[in-house]
Amino acid sequence: MPSPKALILRAPGTNCDSEAAFALERAGAVTERVHINALRENPTRLLSAQILILPGGFSYGDDVAAGKILASQFEHFLADVLREFRDAGKLILGICNGFQVLLKAGLLIQPDDEGALATLAHNAPRRFTDRWVNLAVTPNTCPFLKGIERMYVPIAHGEGNFTCRKEWILKGLRQTNQIVMRYSAPSGNPNGSQDDIAGICDATGQVLGLMPHPERHILPTQHPHWTRDGLQTEGDGLQLFRNAVEYFAA
């Protein structure tokens, strides 16, 4: 079985595409980094891949709102090909800024007539947060998270406060098993997210968005305490990317 191909989407301000490529290649994927302008010129280029990655960073400088400009391009220029990509059983992953893009483009939760049902607002307290966090994982139907129960990975964001417009929306996400990652003890909730939400998937499980950075904990020496606690076999984030690769090998 050939290795699956992962397309890593870049935009002005993206700065985690190299780490994402390293993680995927370590997991066994073939990677290609593509600029958003090139994809807009030839949207069907996406269909040659099996995995789409929206890495972290500050796309378009977060000038309007975090991820909003890139999300607008998704809605206006790439909606059809993204739908075709997902309907073909392929996988989409948005990390940090990529999560913001997926959510604001309606690829994780469909908007209604009043607009988006949820957003990623400014952290509470309102400041940029850069530290490591503990995650409790509930894989449900999400292939990226198969067999994962806990993770220890870093975060680095100023707008990661997951907030639903109404309480019934949050209840609906629980009922449809779309809440797949929560901040947990001992690190706790770093940004004020409702229900401690760190990541959600769409209704199919094929589209995953999360604020923490699994691509920054691939090697055991990336753990902040490895010199005191000893080396693990691998970093906690690697299994997420390996799951994506093995999903297509199965």
User: What DSSP string describes 140-203?
Assistant: TT-GGGTT--EEEEEEEES--EEEESSHHHHHHHHHTT-EEEEEETTT--SS--GGGEEEEE-T
Whether 217 sits among the annotated catalytic residues: the reply is: no
User: Which CATH architecture is the domain 5-249 placed in?
Assistant: 3-Layer(aba) Sandwich (3.40)
Check 16, 19, 96, 157 and give the catalytic one: 96
How high is the pLDDT of residue 2? Answer: 84
Residues facing 179 on adjacent strands: 200
| 3 state SS of 230 | coil
Check 19, 215, 217, 223 and give the catalytic one: 215
Most distant CA atoms of the chain, gap in Å: 53
How high is the pLDDT of residue 107? Answer: 96
Q: Please give the mean pLDDT across all residues of the chain.
A: 96
pTM above 0.95, yes or no: yes
Residues of the chain with pLDDT under 70: 1, 250
Closest to 216 (Cα-Cα) out of 141, 133, 145: 133
Check 122, 157, 213, 223 and give the catalytic one: 213
How high is the pLDDT of residue 1? Answer: 66
Distance of CA 189 to the CA centre of its chain: 18
Whether 122 sits among the annotated catalytic residues: the reply is: no
Closest to 247 (Cα-Cα) out of 179, 178, 180, 147: 147
Residues facing 164 on adjacent strands: 118
How high is the pLDDT of residue 208? Answer: 98
Closest to 94 (Cα-Cα) out of 194, 191, 214, 221: 214
Whether 215 sits among the annotated catalytic residues: the reply is: yes
How high is the pLDDT of residue 249? Answer: 84
How high is the pLDDT of residue 10? Answer: 97
